[in-house]
Structure 1
């Protein structure tokens, strides 16, 4: 028994409990805002993939660092999308009359 424990420690593989998985998924849900329309479908799909990886990493002994790396990569891609959308909105606002209905709609989306 102690030799098994020491082998597990030496290999660096740690087991994730179901409670830890649930907690991780809950935290991921808080980090990933729900978006409107078809974007929410994409977010839901990505969330399902992340959940699948977390659940199966426990069973397949995939390292927690690999799951964390994939999650971080996804969050970075979300940040890039937000930056791109912000740039596009800035350009749109710059080319729109500030008193127009279109500008009011854009401002309401940003609030």
Structure 2
């Protein structure tokens, strides 16, 4: 439990807690690693915002989270690779607009992570 969190401090979730989709203690190290990956602040902010809205574009995500577009893009790419968000591109004339929404799994993962954090008073 003394491993460092992404921000540098000790994290109460390191190797000790669960909170998979059912809120149970994870059976594998992979579940803990997945939670730790979602605690990276840009990923946490983006998924948290998307879990509350139907769909959003990068500009709205940036307005709400205060993140830069490159940070949002990296976070969305990471979340998309893990099927936690769906990404689609719309064309409006010559301009493309990226629309992002949390998948059902993404919403479940985020809510489970919040439940885990709440158990530890965070």
Quickly name the TM-score band, shorter chain normalised. Answer: under 0.3
TM-score (normalizing by structure 1): 0.26
Q: Between Structure 1 and Structure 2, which shows a larger proportion of strand residues? A: 2
Larger Rg: 1
TM-score (normalizing by structure 2): 0.25
